[in-house]
Chains A and B, each alone.
Chain A
């Protein structure tokens, strides 16, 4: 054990970067110290963090003190010619130079670090999502098969990606016989199992039924025990359902008990544990399945053609493209649907199709595009940071012009000087890379915390070895590019002019290059600023959308129960919860706002004869007190009441939008709506009321038509809305107890949260986008401001003598002030013009993210412009002020 303890890998990487005499001694120290502390207190995350930071600090100390210092042991052979032999002393000199100016070195490294960090963070997401194959053997041969619904076969935002739905297993088995090219298939059904015993709290368990062969297709080996097989479902293992559990569940529920196999948990006997690195195929089962059980194709649930329940995972034969299978499946399905319509008919009477996606495409879905846009934004920031660093390097190069020119004049080769400049920027970029990797580690952690579920394969994102290598490569490339600019400038510089320049008053050396670099930074900052500004406007628009109900003081939860007459349970629950102290109102609905509808039906006035194709309308079951509890106004007619019973007249309440769409100006009350779907067999409802519009699934969708049916006439699962001044934490235990009191001990309460929290969660994706791009834009504006400030300050300093002469000749302070300010404004105008054009071209990419905001929204552009103008003026004021205060006599005497 003692021998096997190794340093955390990041510390090892850092330690490997140590160079110079005795680096091995220090490495040994790091390792010995780590082992001692592990032996003393055991390993912990805190210790690892301490060790990594120790290694990082040591690296800094070590490089600062050892490298560039001629240690007595080091003897450099000086009897050979050539660049490799001069490199050593040159590098030492360069490092010594950097040590003398830690502020400058730190600034460049930090600037580059910000750019590299942002790019590396996003790249780690891009890499996990789009570059790396799925973590299964031959993953590119894996496909998902299911039904498609005519009219919505294709997923928006991705070419060639089908929207797949569940399929009836017998129908799939028929299809499989009619197409060739499938090497192995397994049906999967994702389910929620209600688990209730008198001893434990009732709970809904995340279960996946998987057919034999599923784990083989994904090439999974169990960590403990065995995988699922036929017989598990009849209790071969201990008289209960055999189940394989996820690694996370094993850790959380069972404390990683190594003797778990054969023990029973609720209705299960545990037969195996999945390995830690098994990534659940999110396209099939989501990401949080805890119990994996056998799917028996002979079970009644799966032999009935009318029950569409499963998705299918399959492996393609080698060299069979997905497109061929897609064609074959489509043809086979058309024939099958004609022969056996059962289970092959969609709700509106059309025939279902069959579709196929590669598992990879299905997993990523439409999620790739936003991430690529983030990556683009990060690259813009990186270019900006690189430009900024190049500018700093040039300024420093100018200060060294005298030195460099002298060395050239004394016979130093151009290449040697250029190499030393590039080496300097490379060193700084690599230091920046270390900073950047730190930022990336923090960034990825933040992504995990803030990143919406919408980012596919998020669980696989990590700053791993690949990312570190990518970060180092990136730093190297940036370092060389950034160094080449001043190197070219200095190698082409006029020797005599440089040597002479300290004697002349006017020294506009490199001004144009630096000005255009500063302008580039402003342009890039403007592009990012406009992007952030657009997202901000869009977010504000979203938050200001009308909800249609009053969310304040509402607590929501779902009760899961089984009852053939569910409305009786509804009434019991609502009454019990309504009796709790501090509860002012309580209502029930099949689905609450932000949960989406219970079902979609096409409703048409019974007296209307014209054959218009109708869009389906969202339907909800609600109890009589629901509208009052949510403060949804009843605009006409009545709400439901106790007269609406299971066997009384079938009634419906519609929302305003639906009323206007269907009846125009006519009074809808008393009208009869007829359901068009065949499976509803011509049901008719009388309209008894009209209520206000309410948000359904997402605010982005706007107000959509909806209808409400009494809970007594449309059996449904139950969500509860409680109006109370009390908070969730204090209500939760009492609600739970009140359910036990009325005999509902087996009904779990799920997802209890305040309505405000739910609304907040529904905005998590746009908030995340805004936060990310906003951060980039903030850093960009800051860097551009600092860059311009540096340029102007340097200009003023190098022109002190010229300004002094001007003032001696009669220029007023005001004129000098304006002279410098004008330079700032010139940069501003140039940079912003280019930036505006660029932004107008690029913001179109954001279109899909924007809600009620045009990608060329003048307000958003104006706001970003204003911010940059303010930043530029702020950056120019101090240098201009300093110029105006130049003392003519002192400035001339100084030379």
Chain B
């Protein structure tokens, strides 16, 4: 497996695994946490697609959990953040943080400028 930087969505999933208590590290809470914090809607299938990729890269591991009545008697798959995953996530977050340090105000300014210029062009 060639090493490749984490995608944005993969970062979100890994961050969710950090945030959630171990007994809630499965599909539904992961998805709900991401939806709550980012405001974007996900499909249940998309979460698993990403988790599959992360499993294949050894960043997370999983085991089948206990069935519950709430799920119509079906089992959960519980996920666990592996050290390799934690390391990769930390690196990826630090990279972004380091690079973006102090740049956000400037970025906002740039965006404000773009709107002004493009509306100016229209006139």
Q: Are B74 and A61 in contact (CB under 8 A)?
A: no
Specify the chain B residue showing the minimal Cβ separation from A27.
B74
**B45 interface residue, CB < 8 Å from A?**
yes
**A58 interface residue, CB < 8 Å from B?**
yes
Contacts of B44 in A (CB 8 A): 26, 29-30, 33, 54-55, 58
Q: Are A24 and B49 in contact (CB under 8 A)?
A: no
Q: Are A61 and B71 in contact (CB under 8 A)?
A: no
**B31 interface residue, CB < 8 Å from A?**
yes
With A28-B76, A65-B49: A57-B70 Cβ-Cβ less than 8 Å: no
Q: Are A58 and B31 in contact (CB under 8 A)?
A: no
Q: Are A35 and B70 in contact (CB under 8 A)?
A: yes
Distance A35 CA – B52 CA, assembled complex (angstroms): 25
With A22-B77, A28-B76, A31-B74: A61-B46 Cβ-Cβ less than 8 Å: yes
Q: Which residues, 33 to 60 on A, are CB-close (under 8 Å) to B? A: 33, 35-36, 54-55, 57-60
A124 CB to closest chain B CB (Å) equals 28
Contacts of A62 in B (CB 8 A): 45, 48-49
**A613 interface residue, CB < 8 Å from B?**
no
B32 CB to closest chain A CB (Å) equals 8
B123 CB to closest chain A CB (Å) equals 38
**B75 interface residue, CB < 8 Å from A?**
yes
Q: Which residues, 11 to 58 on B, are CB-close (under 8 Å) to A? A: 26-28, 31-32, 43-46, 48-49, 52
A64-79, CB under 8 A of B: which get 1 and which 0? 1110010100000000
**B2 interface residue, CB < 8 Å from A?**
no
Number of cross-chain contacts by CB at 8 Å: 82
Q: Are B48 and A65 in contact (CB under 8 A)?
A: yes
**A563 interface residue, CB < 8 Å from B?**
no
Distance A26 CA – B76 CA, assembled complex (angstroms): 8
Distance A6 CA – B73 CA, assembled complex (angstroms): 12
Q: Are A24 and B48 in contact (CB under 8 A)?
A: no
Distance A3 CA – B48 CA, assembled complex (angstroms): 26
Determine chain B's interface SS by DSSP, over half rule. Answer: helix
Specify the chain A residue showing the minimal Cβ separation from B50.
A65
Q: Are A57 and B43 in contact (CB under 8 A)?
A: yes
Distance A30 CA – B44 CA, assembled complex (angstroms): 7
Q: Are B75 and A32 in contact (CB under 8 A)?
A: no
Count residues on chain B whose CB falls below 8 Å from chain A CBs. 23
Q: Are A29 and B52 in contact (CB under 8 A)?
A: no
Contacts of A64 in B (CB 8 A): 49
**B105 interface residue, CB < 8 Å from A?**
no
Q: Are B31 and A33 in contact (CB under 8 A)?
A: yes
Contacts of B76 in A (CB 8 A): 25, 28-29
**B69 interface residue, CB < 8 Å from A?**
yes
Q: Which residues, 768 to 800 on A, are CB-close (under 8 Å) to B? A: none
Q: Which residues, 10 to 33 on A, are CB-close (under 8 Å) to B? A: 22, 24-33
Q: Are A65 and B43 in contact (CB under 8 A)?
A: no
**B72 interface residue, CB < 8 Å from A?**
yes
Count residues on chain A whose CB falls below 8 Å from chain B CBs. 29
B106 CB to closest chain A CB (Å) equals 37
Distance A35 CA – B73 CA, assembled complex (angstroms): 13
Q: Are A33 and B45 in contact (CB under 8 A)?
A: no
Distance A62 CA – B71 CA, assembled complex (angstroms): 19
Q: Are A32 and B52 in contact (CB under 8 A)?
A: no
Contacts of B75 in A (CB 8 A): 24-25, 28
Specify the chain B residue showing the minimal Cβ separation from A22.
B77
Interface centre among B52, B64, B71 (most CB of A within 10 A): B71
B52 CB to closest chain A CB (Å) equals 6
Distance A30 CA – B45 CA, assembled complex (angstroms): 9
Contacts of B71 in A (CB 8 A): 28-29, 31-32
B60 CB to closest chain A CB (Å) equals 14
With A3-B69, A36-B28: A66-B43 Cβ-Cβ less than 8 Å: no
Q: Are B48 and A31 in contact (CB under 8 A)?
A: no
Contacts of B64 in A (CB 8 A): 25
Contacts of A54 in B (CB 8 A): 43-44
Contacts of A33 in B (CB 8 A): 28, 31-32, 44
Contacts of A28 in B (CB 8 A): 27, 67, 71-72, 74-76
Q: Are A57 and B27 in contact (CB under 8 A)?
A: no
A71 CB to closest chain B CB (Å) equals 8
A594 CB to closest chain B CB (Å) equals 49
B16 CB to closest chain A CB (Å) equals 14
Q: Are B48 and A61 in contact (CB under 8 A)?
A: yes
Interface centre among B26, B27, B43, B46 (most CB of A within 10 A): B43
Q: Are B43 and A25 in contact (CB under 8 A)?
A: no
Specify the chain B residue showing the minimal Cβ separation from A58.
B45
Q: Are B45 and A25 in contact (CB under 8 A)?
A: no
Distance A55 CA – B43 CA, assembled complex (angstroms): 8
Distance A59 CA – B48 CA, assembled complex (angstroms): 11
Q: Are A25 and B77 in contact (CB under 8 A)?
A: yes
Q: Which residues, 71 to 114 on B, are CB-close (under 8 Å) to A? A: 71-72, 74-77
Q: Besides A25-B64, A33-B31, A66-B52, 6 other CB < 8 A contacts?
A: A2-B70, A25-B26, A29-B27, A32-B68, A61-B46, A71-B52
20 contacts between A and B (CB under 8 A): A3-B69, A25-B27, A25-B48, A25-B77, A26-B27, A27-B74, A28-B27, A29-B27, A29-B28, A31-B71, A31-B72, A32-B28, A32-B71, A55-B44, A57-B46, A60-B45, A61-B49, A62-B45, A65-B49, A71-B52
Residues on B facing A (Cβ under 8 Å): 26-28, 31-32, 43-46, 48-49, 52, 64, 67-72, 74-77
The 7 closest A-B pairs by CB, nearest first: A61-B45, A58-B45, A28-B74, A57-B43, A28-B71, A29-B27, A65-B49
